[in-house]
Amino acid sequence: MKKTIQDLKVLRNKKLTSDFFELELKAAEPLPELYPGQFVQVLIDNVRNVFLRRPFSIHDVNYQQNTFSLLIKLAGPGTRQLSYTEEGDFLNIIYPLGKPFTLDVQGDILLVGGGCGIAPLLFLARYLYDNKNIAPDILIGGKSADNLPDIDKYKAFGRVFLTTEDGSLGMCGLVSDHTLLQKECQKYSMLYACGPEPMLKIIAGIAKEKLIECEVSLENLMACGIGACLCCVVDTVDGNVCTCTEGPVFNVKRLKFS
Amino acid sequence: MIDLSIKISGLRLKNPVMVASGTFGYGLEFADFVALSELGAIIVKGTTLEPRQGNPYPRMVETASGMLNAVGLQNKGIDYFIAEIYPNIKDFDTAIIVNVSGAKVEDYIKVAEKLNDLEKIPAIELNISCPNVKQGGMAFGTSCESAAEITGAIRKAYKKTLIVKLSPNVTNITEIAKAVEDAGADSVSLINTLLGMAIDAEKRKPLLSTVTGGLSGPCIKPVALRMVWQVAKAVKIPVIGMGGIMNATDAIEFILAGASAVQVGTANFIDPQVSVKIIDGIKDYMERHEFSSINDIVGNLIY
Ligand SMILES: Cc1cc2nc3c(=O)[nH]c(=O)nc-3n(C[C@H](O)[C@H](O)[C@H](O)COP(=O)(O)OP(=O)(O)OC[C@H]3O[C@@H](n4cnc5c(N)ncnc54)[C@H](O)[C@@H]3O)c2cc1C
Ligand SMILES: Cc1cc2nc3c(=O)[nH]c(=O)nc-3n(C[C@H](O)[C@H](O)[C@H](O)COP(=O)(O)O)c2cc1C
Ligand code: FES
């Protein structure tokens, strides 16, 4: 898949919660084909303490408008700077990067996201709904109700289940505690998960135990994003491989998750 | 006409801008962004005799104006390079230089001998300065005796252009440079990364799996410039300068300090097209200052 580097225009910067915002970006040329699970590398120029590009998953795509969006959670100086971007600003972006989720699936599908890991799930849910005729179950977790950004959007593509750590919305606890995973997950032919590593490890454990196919999207620290620096590696059955080129999506059977 | 071409011993390059080992993969990774034929040379990833897994994750920390890495020479070994990579890159219209690493002198020699036979590899860069491997690597580059020993051994085994890459993690880099010059190096390149460290105070933990790593990027540029300037005065062979070059002005500064050519490293991660922008910027500079040959700027510093 050919990668490009482009200055994309910020059409909208929408604050969703105290720590989530969404950037809608417009390309001057037709978008390349984008797939759920792929990511972009954003240049954040002239900001103290930000040297490298920052990776973000593709959150949603609109080919008619030539736009795609990023769902970003405030984490440090880079994401803070991005939260200040205004309509009409341009962001220098390298994309599309990485390998997508396996999209040739059927049967019941569960998407699980926690923290900023929910970002790729909207695009994935839309893709499955539009192209595979699948309405997946979508399980999303956060710290509290006001940490869950724009959950209604997901309802257009499947059934949405929520967990919050403080119990303010949905089930109280972590996503991995939800009954869908703890009790009912046998019915799914595929689990897709994205979020903090401890969460992914628990879900990978469940999937392995129950012999369910499971793909996780990793968020390893990256420098280049294009397979040149070898900084982003994850330990797999094939040894160290780059998450930016062979991932960020991996089948858990390939990972040496401990 | 502006003449950007340079010569490093028997090796003629179309311009003085190379991309640094470990920061440009095998060139293929950048083919979507850069016309590789425009580059002076591509120094491919550090290559060892046997495959190496490198160090465990985390291997990278962003620092103020730079980054630390502890990749530890992950590569699939020279035989894999020859069988699987070389056929895909040998016809690039630029000089492909292989960066050679190892733990033992014999390993370096074996790799150099194999590379000797590859028609489209006109030069090697001997990495005696990698701070991220336990044995060998930097150890060779930190004393005059071992640096001269390994350079001499490779000089016998390798017939084409031999560049030796120097470590900045030494007390006196000019002595090492002179030692490798006397041992038969055609050129020296510098600097490799500076040994550094980063800590997460909240967790009271080092941020790299190896605790220490190699610092690169603009934060090392003043140190690199100083070392290039010192070495260029001390040796007669061409010096290849690098360390924190982000734009054409940085590159010109290295050339003024005495470098005949430059390498662009970490900057490729931030702008994959930076190397060609630097070539264009050097041309602009030469036009503005009415130089017709790049060689007229080398070491042309006014005190
Ligand atoms: C492939 C990929 C896709 C991603 N997708 C998204 C996304 O869609 N939305 C989103 O909000 N974030 C996403 N992230 C994480 C995002 O890149 C980081 O949060 C961001 O780089 C932090 O930059 P910063 O300057 O704000 O904070 P920094 O100062 O760089 O970091 C703040 C804190 O976050 C930690 N951190 C930084 N980068 C990462 C990372 N890559 N993974 C885990 N922890 C990190 C740091 O250790 C530090 O403690 C993704 C990461 C990857 C690798
Ligand atoms: C991720 C990374 C990997 C590197 N790998 C190698 C290597 O394999 N061999 C080598 O000689 N130098 C290696 N280097 C050092 C660079 O080639 C260069 O000497 C150094 O980064 C300084 O230049 P810069 O500041 O422009 O990056 C590496 C640097 C980085 C950042
Ligand atoms: S981030 Fe550089 S190789 Fe993956």
ipTM: 0.94
Do residue B59 and residue A235 have CB atoms under 8 angstroms apart?
Answer: no
Q: From CA B251, how far away is CA A180, in angstroms rounded?
A: 58
The residue count for chain A: 258
CA-nearest residue to B268 within chain A is: A224
Q: How many CA atoms lie within 13 A of A25 on its CB side?
A: 26
Q: Judge contact between B96 and B44, C-beta under 8 A.
A: yes
What pLDDT does A186 receive? 87
DSSP H helices in B39-160: 78-80, 86-89, 105-116, 144-157
Tens of pLDDT, residue by residue over A156-171, are 999 999 999 998 988 8
What pLDDT does B133 receive? 65
What pLDDT does B140 receive? 84
Mean pLDDT of A251-257: 93
Of the candidates A50, A51, A230, which has its C-beta nearest B217's C-beta? A51
Do residue A229 and residue B272 have CB atoms under 8 angstroms apart?
Answer: no
A47 CB neighbours in chain B (<8 A) are none
What pLDDT does B136 receive? 56
Cα A2 to averaged position of ligand 3 atoms, centre (Å): 17
What pLDDT does A178 receive? 84
Of the candidates B33, B64, B268, which has its C-beta nearest A49's C-beta? B64
Q: Judge contact between A140 and A80, C-beta under 8 A.
A: no
Token output for A166: 């403080």
Write B280-286 long-range contacts (CB < 8 A, 24+): B280/B248, B281/B247, B281/B248, B281/B249, B281/B251, B281/B252, B282/B4, B282/B15, B282/B16, B282/B17, B282/B248, B282/B251, B282/B252, B282/B255, B283/B2, B283/B4, B284/B248, B285/B248, B285/B249, B285/B252, B286/B2, B286/B4
A5 CB neighbours in chain B (<8 A) are 33, 271-273
What pLDDT does A117 receive? 86
What pLDDT does B130 receive? 67
Is residue B290 exposed (0-12), middle (13-18) or buried (19+ Cβ within 10 Å)? exposed
* Fold type of domain A109-254: Rossmann fold (3.40.50)
A52 CB neighbours in chain B (<8 A) are 62, 67, 269-270
CB atoms < 10 A from the CB of B245, how many? 30
Residue B167 near ligand 2, beta carbon < 6 Å: no
Of the candidates A2, A223, A239, which has its C-beta nearest B269's C-beta? A223
Do residue B64 and residue A51 have CB atoms under 8 angstroms apart?
Answer: yes
Mean pLDDT of A220-249: 96
User: Is B130 in the active site?
Assistant: yes
CA-nearest residue to A230 within chain B is: B71
B58 CB neighbours in chain A (<8 A) are 221
Do residue A52 and residue B67 have CB atoms under 8 angstroms apart?
Answer: yes
Q: Which of A136, A50, A56, A62 is nearest to A93 (CA)?
A: A56
Tens of pLDDT, residue by residue over A93-108, are 999 999 999 999 999 9
pTM, full prediction? 0.96
Q: From CA B96, how far away is CA B12, in angstroms rounded?
A: 12
Domain boundaries in chain B?
6-54+72-195+217-296
Q: From CA A152, how far away is CA A154, in angstroms rounded?
A: 5
Question: How far is the alpha carbon of B61 from chain A, nearest alpha carbon, in Å?
Answer: 8
55-94 in chain A: CB under 8 A from chain B: 94
Predicted confidence (pLDDT) at residue A147 exceeds the cutoff of 90? no
> What homologous superfamily is domain A4-97 in, according to CATH?
Translation factors (2.40.30.10)
Catalytic residue among B13, B124, B130, B173: B130
Domain boundaries in chain A?
4-97, 109-254
Q: Judge contact between A59 and A70, C-beta under 8 A.
A: yes
Atom of ligand 3 nearest to the CA of B269: 2
Maximal CA-CA distance, chain B: 59
Q: From CA A61, how far away is CA B83, in angstroms rounded?
A: 40
What pLDDT does B137 receive? 62
Question: How far is the alpha carbon of B303 from chain A, nearest alpha carbon, in Å?
Answer: 32
Residue nearest to atom 15 of ligand 2 (CA): B192
What pLDDT does A184 receive? 85
Does residue B233 come out as left (phi exceeding 0), alpha (psi in the -120 to 50 range) or beta? alpha
Ligand 3 pocket test target in A3, A221, A229 with most atoms within 8 Å of CB: A229
Of the candidates A52, A221, A227, which has its C-beta nearest B25's C-beta? A227
What pLDDT does B132 receive? 65
Query: What is the pLDDT of chain A when averaged over all its residues?
Result: 94
* Fold type of domain B6-54+72-195+217-296: TIM Barrel (3.20.20)
Residue A232 near ligand 3, beta carbon < 6 Å: yes
Ligand that lies nearest to the alpha carbon of residue B128, given by its number in the listed order: 2
Q: What is the pLDDT along chain B (303 residues), one digit of tens a residue?
A: 899 999 999 999 999 999 999 999 999 999 999 999 999 999 999 999 999 999 999 999 999 999 999 999 999 999 999 999 999 999 999 999 999 998 889 999 999 999 999 999 999 999 997 666 665 566 788 889 999 999 999 999 999 999 999 999 999 999 999 999 999 999 999 999 999 999 999 999 999 999 999 999 999 999 999 999 999 999 999 999 999 999 999 999 999 999 999 999 999 999 999 999 999 999 999 999 999 999 999 999 999
Q: Judge contact between A189 and A108, C-beta under 8 A.
A: yes
Do residue A52 and residue B269 have CB atoms under 8 angstroms apart?
Answer: yes
Tens of pLDDT, residue by residue over A39-88, are 999 999 989 899 999 999 999 999 999 999 999 999 999 999 999 999 99
User: A228 touching B, CB under 8 A?
Assistant: yes
What pLDDT does B153 receive? 95
Ligand 1 pocket test target in A91, A116, A242 with most atoms within 8 Å of CB: A116
Cα A243 to averaged position of ligand 3 atoms, centre (Å): 7
A240 CB neighbours in chain B (<8 A) are 53-54, 57, 74
Ligand 3 pocket test target in A52, A97, A226 with most atoms within 8 Å of CB: A226
Atom of ligand 1 nearest to the CA of A98: 1
Token output for A215: 């793909």
DSSP letters, A75-104, are -SHHHHHHHT--TT-EEEEEEEESB-----
* Whole-number CA gyration radius for chain B: 18
